[in-house]
Each structure stands twice: as C-alpha cells, then as structure tokens.
C-alpha cells in the first residue's frame, strides 16, 4: 500500500462526509436520479445508526472503514463488529459452533454488510477510477483489524460478483448462496408475464390473485408523500408481529421507520391491504434505479394468498409499470419459484485468521458450492416458464 493512502476506522458516521460516502457508494446511476443501491447510501446506513437499530446492545458495532488519498476519500465500507450471527442471512452458526468446540473464540468477528438486508450490492465502495486500489486498501484494512485485535474472522456478505472474484484471487474464501429473483423480459403487463408461464402455473397465479382480492377491501401502492404517519403506525404493528415470530425480537426500531420516511420516502414503496379504513396487512419495498427490493411483510389478519399478492405480485406489477428489470424478494423461499422468481447465485467473501480452521472452511465451501450449483440447475429446469416450443 502506497504511503500516500490512509485507512481510517470510524465508530459512527458523525465524522464522515455524506457526499464523500455517497460518491464512493455510487449513489445514483447515469440514467436515473435514484440510488442504484439504496442500502449503501449514507442516509440509509445513518438511519440504522441514529435509530439505535445498530449500536450498543444490538451486537452490531460500527467500525466503518474509509480510504483517503490526501484530503479525498476514495473508498469506504460498512463494517461492523459482531457479537453474534443474527441478521446476516449468510449462515455461519455451524462454523461458530465448530470453532468454539475446538477451543477457539469465534465472536467477536467483523462483518462487511448492510445490517438485516439480504440484498446483493457493492460492499467495497470506491470512487470511479479508484476501484482496484480502493478495494485492495479496504481488504487490507479489514485484515489488519482482524490481526491487530486478535479476532477470528471477517466476512463480506452479499457482495457483487466481481468483488467476490477479485477477493478470491487475493486469498479470501468465496462462498456461493442462492436467492429467488424475478426478471423483467420487457413485459408490457402482468398478463404479458403470465403468457410466458406454463398453463398450470398461470392458472394458479390467477387463482391466487383472485383469492387475495376477496379479503373484503382494497390494495394500494403508496410512495413518497402518499405515505402518511398512520401508514407507518400500521406497518410497525405488522413488522413487530413478523419479527417476533421469525427472530424473537424485531431488528429495526420504530425510530428507523420515522427516519426512513423523513429521508427516503421517495425510495419506498409501501403496499397495503386496507379494509374498512384500516390497514390489515402490508409489504415494504425499497426502489432502486433498476430494481425493486422487497424487505418486510406482516399482517394482523390472515387471508388466503394475501401474502403472495402483496409481496410478489404487486411487486411485479410495479416493476413492469416502471420499467424495472428485477424484483429481489429477500432471502430463501422456494415457494417463490412457482410465482415466477427464479434462483440466482449470491456471493460472499470470508477471511479466517486461523490456518487450520480456514482449511476446514474452504473444504466445506467447495462442497457447498457444488451442491448449490446443482440445486440452481434443477430448480431452474423445473421453473414455471414454458419450455422451448411448448404450447398450452
């Protein structure tokens, strides 16, 4: 590393310039004023910190890295010291158990990630023309933190594929996982999308949409100033219910949603089912420059297929209407396959300090990658779309 570069560690965003961070994050695309990835923007990550969703008592302690060339920030990464593996969605619980059973101490560890957000994106954020040196500096800084603090490991999760490839070349362990994404093949309408499905899958989706609409109210899509405080009050109830059932305790605080509304409501799509003037179910999405990201769902009343309608079909409707190429509907869920969401690879990188443990993890990852590749191939073959030449 050239002496002209300086790596800094920050325990909060207070001393980081928002415009400099967003310049590294590539907050907007050439074609759109929207953030390519809303989750690595300063305003999103700062809202997590300011709301107390991360920080003392959460197991997520900020250790943000920035790289500077003179007075200019050229690279940055959202790094957190972790005392557990909750809220990551790339599971390493078995690694922790194995290491600790062998007498090691797995926690704390370092996590380069967007907390609670299983969305693929750049994690080693660099300004244009500084990609190579910026990424190398961030990885060097990450390794130095592990070594100097004598901790077990560092993990870069849901990183971009090119980051994973470069990281593997310099010695990090590459891990393959999978999610289900919907891809827009220049559809003009939802029916246009349905026309590409097999007859049975098409009929099932139409049946589910009809079932969902029979709950006795209306389904609305809200964004920007259409979203009102009472809508967040309702969604908070939904989120608490889902969080309590899935994780025991919701990850995000109530304050986070207020800050998101204040700073990011134009980047949010809230889909609500409203009956007799009251919201009874809802799904929260974030809008990127070319993708819609489904994040949370919840309800206070249960109706057949309403979950599929609010989370998957309404998202497809929105993506088609606004020309978005992709809908990412979150982690896991093979049930998404029948609804037009196909398996795709996701990637992560891992630095393991202990050589023996690193070798064991590497062997596991090789076997896991082969199994996931085979699973993606099988699931894609059994997907809902018509085979070549197939007619109804």
pLDDT of residue 26: 86
The pLDDT confidence band at residue 334, using thresholds 50, 70 and 90, is confident
pLDDT in tens, 109-127: 999 999 999 999 999 999 9
pLDDT at residue 339 above 70?
yes
Number of Cβ within 10 Å of residue 100's Cβ equals: 13
Going through 78-233 in order, the beta strands assigned E by DSSP cover: 79-82, 109-112, 125-126, 153-159, 173-183, 218-223
Tell me what the mean pLDDT of segment 247-270 comes to.
93
Number of Cβ within 10 Å of residue 213's Cβ equals: 16
- pTM here is 0.94
pLDDT of residue 31: 56
Give the residue among 172, 110, 108 at the shortest CA–CA distance from 135. 172
pLDDT of residue 44: 98
Give the residue among 43, 49, 115 at the shortest CA–CA distance from 266. 43
pLDDT in tens, 58-101: 999 999 999 999 999 999 999 999 999 999 999 999 999 999 99
What tokens were used for 201? 């899958």
CB-CB contact of 22 with 77 (8 Å): no
Q: Which residue has the tokens 């809008």?
A: 287
pLDDT at residue 357 above 60?
yes
Q: What is the mean pLDDT of the chain?
A: 94
Tell me what the mean pLDDT of segment 275-299 comes to.
96
The pLDDT confidence band at residue 269, using thresholds 50, 70 and 90, is very high
Tell me what the mean pLDDT of segment 378-388 comes to.
84
pLDDT of residue 4: 83
Tell me what the mean pLDDT of segment 320-325 comes to.
98
pLDDT at residue 241 above 90?
no
pLDDT of residue 382: 86
Tell me what the mean pLDDT of segment 252-266 comes to.
97
The pLDDT confidence band at residue 243, using thresholds 50, 70 and 90, is low
pLDDT in tens, 288-309: 999 999 999 999 999 999 999 9
The pLDDT confidence band at residue 30, using thresholds 50, 70 and 90, is very low
């Amino acid at each position: 590393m050239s002496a002209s570069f300086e790596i800094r560690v920050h325990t909060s965003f207070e001393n980081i310039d928002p415009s400099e961070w967003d310049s590294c994050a590539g907050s907007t695309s050439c074609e759109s004023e929207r953030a390519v990835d809303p989750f690595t923007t300063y305003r999103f990550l700062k809202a997590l910190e300011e709301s107390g969703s991360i920080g003392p008592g959460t197991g997520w302690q900020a250790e943000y890295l920035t790289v500077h060339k003179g007075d200019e920030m050229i690279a940055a990464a959202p790094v957190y010291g972790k005392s557990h593996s909750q809220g990551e969605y790339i599971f390493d619980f078995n690694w922790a158990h194995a290491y600790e059973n062998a007498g090691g101490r797995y926690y704390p560890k370092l996590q380069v990630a967007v907390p609670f957000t299983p969305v693929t994106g750049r994690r080693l954020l660099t300004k244009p023309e500084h990609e190579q040196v910026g990424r190398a500096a961030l990885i060097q800084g990450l390794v130095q933190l592990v070594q100097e603090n004598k901790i077990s490991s560092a993990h870069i999760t849901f990183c971009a594929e090119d980051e994973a490839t470069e990281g593997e070349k310099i010695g990090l362990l590459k891990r393959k996982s999978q999610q289900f994404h919907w891809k827009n093949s220049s559809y003009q309408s939802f029916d246009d999308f349905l026309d590409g499905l097999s007859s049975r899958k098409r009929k099932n989706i139409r049946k589910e949409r009809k079932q969902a609409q029979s709950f006795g109210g209306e389904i609305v899509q809200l964004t920007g100033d259409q979203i009102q405080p009472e809508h967040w009050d309702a969604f908070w109830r939904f989120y608490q219910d889902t969080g309590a059932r899935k994780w025991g305790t919701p990850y995000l605080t109530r304050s986070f949603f207020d800050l998101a509304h204040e700073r990011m409501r134009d980047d949010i799509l809230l889909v609500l089912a409203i009956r007799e003037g009251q919201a009874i179910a809802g799904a929260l999405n974030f809008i990127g420059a070319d993708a819609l990201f489904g994040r949370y769902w919840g309800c206070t009343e249960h109706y057949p297929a309403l979950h599929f309608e609010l989370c998957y079909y309404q998202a497809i409707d929105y993506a088609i209407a606004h020309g978005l190429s992709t809908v990412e509907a979150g982690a896991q869920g093979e049930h998404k396959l029948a609804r037009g969401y196909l398996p795709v690879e996701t990637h992560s990188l891992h630095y393991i300090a202990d050589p023996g443990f690193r070798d064991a993890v590497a062997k596991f990852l090789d076997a896991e990658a082969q199994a996931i590749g085979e699973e993606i191939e099988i699931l894609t073959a059994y997907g809902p779309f018509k085979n070549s030449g197939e007619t109804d």
